[in-house]
Amino acid sequence: MSEDVDTVAPEAVRERLAAGDDDFDLVDIREADAYEDGHLPGAEHLTAEELEDVVAERDWSDEVVVYCYVGQTSVQAARLVEEYGNADDVASMAGGYEAWADDVEALADAD
């Protein structure tokens, strides 16, 4: 397993989703109440504990993007998918959902 985990900027994820690119697994590993309060379009919810239970059995896309609140727990989750999953490319979304929400808010303010 790699010590370093790739990261992807929230802006890059937003652009891919806006372009209709759904050729990757997007996994939100926050708690259920946080997911219900808001999440990225098309994101699947799996808590960190649930991810541990299914990571090796899951049929992952070639590319997986994992996010959490601020990007720390998702690095650990990305390492888990990288080690035990069958995905070729795994990344943690830099800054997590908080950075995504800030990016969306900045776009709305720019309009």
Which are the catalytic amino acids? 68
Q: In whole angstroms, how far apart are CA 20 and each of 2, 11, 13, 83? A: 30, 14, 11, 29
The set of residues, in sequence order, having a beta carbon less than 8 Å from that of 17 and lying 6+ positions away, is: 40, 41, 42
Neighbour-count burial for 2-15, b at 16+ CB within 10 Å, e otherwise: eeebebbebeebbe
- pLDDT value, residue 4: 83
Q: What is the pLDDT of residues 57-111, one digit of tens each?
A: 998 988 999 999 998 999 999 999 999 988 889 999 999 999 998 877 666 555 5
Pull the structure tokens for residue 51: 């991810």
pTM of the shown model: 0.89
